[in-house]
């Protein structure tokens, strides 16, 4: 039972009351921090379906309405009118920058793009066929061994320097992972280029010739970075917060986030969506795949469809679809995979199974097609996601460390193992 500002729980005949807190928007939360002390009971919520694990002022999602706001600004407006650098500033600092603030921030980030030269030796320790996410986990974790002057998390200045370093070095680290895998020399950053153009040059440029980037592709990539910049308390962000709650250094926390993001249910879905669209191949084959997705005895799911939070069109998918058109126009690509994607989306959106279960395209439905058209191999897709999400991770990590109520994260459990029993020596078993 919930009254105006309290919720009453009756357990074993005794009543206890819990404060009900309101955010600026979104569902109320019942503050159960004293539940165990008052009743001796825990709540049970695997997968955190109904648990707010922290207080945050960064990102808001209304999954039923298909709304995503960063510091209050709708993602569609940011993707259309802003830049990744500006969105990074917004997430880190809470407000949009003035022109001068944006120029200073952009300059600061570009001055941190180089890696300690010693770090390039790390790459040579990996096999050439190593997955770039494995390389990312290792190299990002190793940053803590190189930048000792930004690992004191109690110092807000050091926290900001670590945040800037991570945002700035991620494109260099990601591009080097790619170059290593294809046996090309590492390309050093160029600070006169935009954040995105610099990353593209380090990835696709070679020392033997000049690199030219189509402005439409630069814009598309920047927009893809914006769309992935933050997404509230998702699995990898919660991992970063949990790792950081013990006081671990920021580079180690972000490496933990990268490890979590790697999984196919999180960052790996765009690769799966692209593979699925290619496998379907022709619009005539779509009904067969829709039927499979609906068949309870078939494990197949429509990849890039459905979301734990969005029960409406993912607002990022809307921008992705538009971006895909722009990229295909700029590159003069006429790939049947786009037609398959559009028709699959339309058929699914008109099918009672998908309507009833509120399954809509998510951000991954179109992003794999775009990234592949631009020239990225599929195992780089999640790396690009990690690169962009780093700003969200560091902003959330900073918010957590600055929170005076911050405690080490320590979930409890419902124990279902054996009760106490006596040890039997191996000779008697």
Residues with catalytic annotation? 307, 364
In the complex, minimum distance from the CB of residue 385 to ligand CMC, in angstroms, rounded to a whole number: 8
351 secondary structure, DSSP code: S
Using left for φ > 0, alpha for ψ between -120 and 50, and beta otherwise, residue 51 falls in: beta
In the complex, minimum distance from the CB of residue 176 to ligand CMC, in angstroms, rounded to a whole number: 25
With a CB cutoff of 8 Å and minimum separation 6, the contacts of 56 are 232, 233, 396, 399
Hey, what are 347's tokens?
């058929």
Closest CA relative to residue 78, chosen from 92, 96, 55, 60: 96
In the complex, minimum distance from the CB of residue 334 to ligand CMC, in angstroms, rounded to a whole number: 26
- Kindly list the residues in this chain that would bind ligand CMC in the complex (CB under 6 A): 231, 234, 265-266, 269, 293, 301-308, 357, 359, 362-364
Only one residue has tokens 């809470």, namely 94
Closest CA relative to residue 394, chosen from 224, 71, 51, 164: 164
In the complex, minimum distance from the CB of residue 305 to ligand CMC, in angstroms, rounded to a whole number: 4
CB nearer ligand CMC, residue 168 or residue 340: 340
CB nearer ligand CMC, residue 304 or residue 315: 304
CB nearer ligand CMC, residue 364 or residue 399: 364
Which sign does the torsion angle of CA 11, 15, 17, 20 carry? Answer: positive
Closest CA relative to residue 274, chosen from 332, 227, 337: 337
What is the SS3 assignment for 305?
strand
Residue whose CB is nearest to ligand CMC in the complex, by number: 306
CB nearer ligand CMC, residue 111 or residue 357: 357
In the complex, minimum distance from the CB of residue 411 to ligand CMC, in angstroms, rounded to a whole number: 19
In the complex, minimum distance from the CB of residue 306 to ligand CMC, in angstroms, rounded to a whole number: 2
CB nearer ligand CMC, residue 137 or residue 200: 137
CA 342 to chain centre: 25
73 secondary structure, DSSP code: E
CB nearer ligand CMC, residue 63 or residue 409: 63
Residue 90 and residue 93: Cα distance in Å, rounded?
A: 5
User: What are the distances in angstroms from CA 270 to CA 153, 276, 294, 355, 370?
Assistant: 34, 10, 20, 22, 10
In the complex, minimum distance from the CB of residue 322 to ligand CMC, in angstroms, rounded to a whole number: 18
CB nearer ligand CMC, residue 120 or residue 275: 275
With a CB cutoff of 8 Å and minimum separation 6, the contacts of 389 are 228, 229, 230, 231, 236, 237, 257, 261, 267
């Amino acid at each position: 039972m919930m009254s105006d500002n309290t919720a009453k729980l009756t357990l074993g005949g005794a009543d206890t009351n819990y404060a009900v807190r309101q955010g600026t928007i979104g569902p109320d939360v019942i503050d159960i921090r004293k539940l165990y002390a008052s009743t001796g009971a825990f709540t049970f919520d695997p997968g955190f379906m109904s648990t707010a694990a922290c207080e945050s002022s960064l990102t808001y999602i209304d999954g039923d309405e298909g709304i995503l706001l960063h510091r209050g600004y709708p993602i569609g407006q940011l993707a259309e009118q802003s830049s990744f650098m500006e969105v990074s500033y917004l997430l880190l600092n809470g407000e949009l920058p003035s022109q001068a603030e944006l120029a200073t921030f952009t300059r600061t980030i570009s001055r941190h793009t180089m890696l300690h030269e010693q770090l390039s030796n790390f790459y040579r320790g990996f096999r050439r066929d190593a997955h770039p996410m494995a390389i990312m986990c290792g190299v990002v974790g190793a940053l803590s061994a190189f930048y000792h002057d930004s690992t004191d998390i109690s110092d807000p200045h050091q926290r900001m320097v670590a945040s800037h370093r991570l945002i700035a070095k991620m494109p260099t680290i990601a591009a080097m992972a790619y170059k290593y895998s294809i046996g090309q020399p590492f390309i050093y950053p160029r600070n006169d280029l935009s954040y995105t153009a610099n990353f593209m040059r380090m990835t696709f440029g070679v020392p033997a010739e000049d690199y030219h980037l189509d402005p439409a592709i630069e814009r598309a990539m920047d927009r893809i970075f914006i769309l992935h910049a933050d997404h509230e308390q998702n699995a990898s962000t919660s991992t970063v917060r949990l790792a950081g709650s013990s006081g671990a250094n920021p580079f180690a926390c972000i490496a933990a986030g990268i490890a979590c993001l790697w999984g196919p249910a999180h960052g790996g879905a765009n690769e799966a969506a692209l593979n699925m669209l290619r496998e379907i191949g022709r619009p005539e084959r779509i009904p067969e795949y829709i039927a499979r997705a609906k068949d309870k005895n078939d494990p197949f799911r429509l990849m890039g469809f459905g979301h734990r939070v969005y029960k409406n069109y993912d607002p990022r998918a809307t921008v992705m679809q538009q971006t895909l058109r722009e990229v295909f126009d700029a590159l003069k690509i006429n790939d049947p995979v786009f037609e398959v994607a559009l028709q699959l989306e339309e058929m699914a959106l008109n099918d009672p199974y998908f309507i009833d279960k509120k399954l809509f395209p998510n951000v991954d439905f179109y992003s794999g097609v775009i990234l592949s058209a631009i020239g990225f191999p599929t195992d780089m897709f999640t790396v690009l996601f990690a690169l962009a999400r780093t700003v969200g991770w560091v902003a959330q990590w900073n918010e957590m460390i600055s929170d005076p109520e911050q405690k080490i994260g320590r979930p409890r459990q419902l124990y279902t193992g054996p009760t106490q029993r006596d040890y039997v020596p191996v000779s008697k078993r």
